[in-house]
Chains A and B, each alone.
Chain A
């Protein structure tokens, strides 16, 4: 199983653990992740303005490379996944968008035919959670883990097509597959505050603490996330145990994860 891999800016810097553990676990599961050449930052937020073209070009370049090779494009980061899937959707639904891109640079002309996947989707749909369960050597049997979905994996569900936006199960199913106990709590798809923590860190802290109060009353001992910004905002609060899902996967698969990765 060969996939193009789009790491994104944060996985090459502050979230190296998310990246390294993804590559390690992929190897153990027979997934070939080939880092896409010359990838550029997706821009972290999907540009909502209908006249915005330039900010979508980095996504178009990666999407077109994947489409031409007919190899699915995989991301680990919630934000990259969100931006790439939505820009791809623009190319599918809007002739005006396709025409504008083609006029800007004929070499970039793109029809929206790439397949964009989050690693969770690869684990569920291409490897299979049952197959993962068979390969677990360190089941975290006694650990109660809460899935922290956040916003960007799920919404808007019409475009993201990742899981049910109000009652998702994919990360809970993943937690089951690695042998731990998933704990569902009401605020698992609520926003951590996102980029607001630059200018209003106190607001992000308040939002995260609301979520964490809900987590605590649910009995979950640990949260897992796919988003470096969720990990940062939530992780800044006190008494929190939040980890990247790939790290937990790599540990459950019995892989050596270097410290300070």
Chain B
């Protein structure tokens, strides 16, 4: 029987649309990231973890819930690696299995404030569940 877990690194890379072999480990992505200080695995490290096939660490990383999709890393990468897309791929793989959403609909709904713009609510629901 096939071990489906063996395909997860390829799955993550495909889902991200990035080519991790292009990374030259300069670290500009993490230097540009306004959330790097709050992350256990920083943007530039996502590439190394994935290259080693350590998908589990990425799926359990708090970085998935700290990335703001501000695209500073994508903008400043001199090699077109798109670290934000890699983090997004890990985030999607973390929340897609049934019952694995980061926040349940009840938890997310309890955080709503009356003055929040729809843009915030829709964006957050897209990211967390």
Show the binding face of A for B, using Cβ within 8 Å: 8-10, 13-15, 41, 43-51, 55, 77, 79, 151, 154-157, 165-166, 190-191, 193-199, 203, 207, 227-229, 231-232
Contact = CB atoms under 8 A, between A and B. Distances in A.
A44 B119 contact: yes
A193 B119 contact: no
B4 interface: no
Contacts of B116: 14, 197-198, 232
Contacts of A154: 75
Given A10-B119, A229-B117, A232-B120, A199 B72 contact: no
A228 B108 contact: no
**Most chain B CB atoms below 10 A, which of A41, A48, A193:** A48
A48 B119 contact: no
Contacts of B122: 9, 41, 43-45
Given A48-B88, A49-B89, A79 B123 contact: yes
B85 interface: yes
Interface residues of B, number: 37
Given A9-B122, A190-B34, A198-B121, A155 B128 contact: no
A51 B15 contact: yes
A151 B71 contact: yes
A33 B77 CA distance: 38
Interface of B: 14-17, 34, 38, 65-66, 68-72, 74-75, 84-85, 88-89, 92, 103, 108, 111-112, 115-124, 126-128
Given A14-B115, A155-B75, A193 B123 contact: no
Nearest to A150: B70
A49 B120 CA distance: 20
Contacts of B128: 198-199
A24 to B, nearest CB: 21
Contact of B123 (A48, A49, A229): A229
A8 B66 CA distance: 26
A219 B123 CA distance: 33
Contact of B72 (A8, A151, A193, A231): A151
A166 B76 CA distance: 9
B103 A50 contact: no
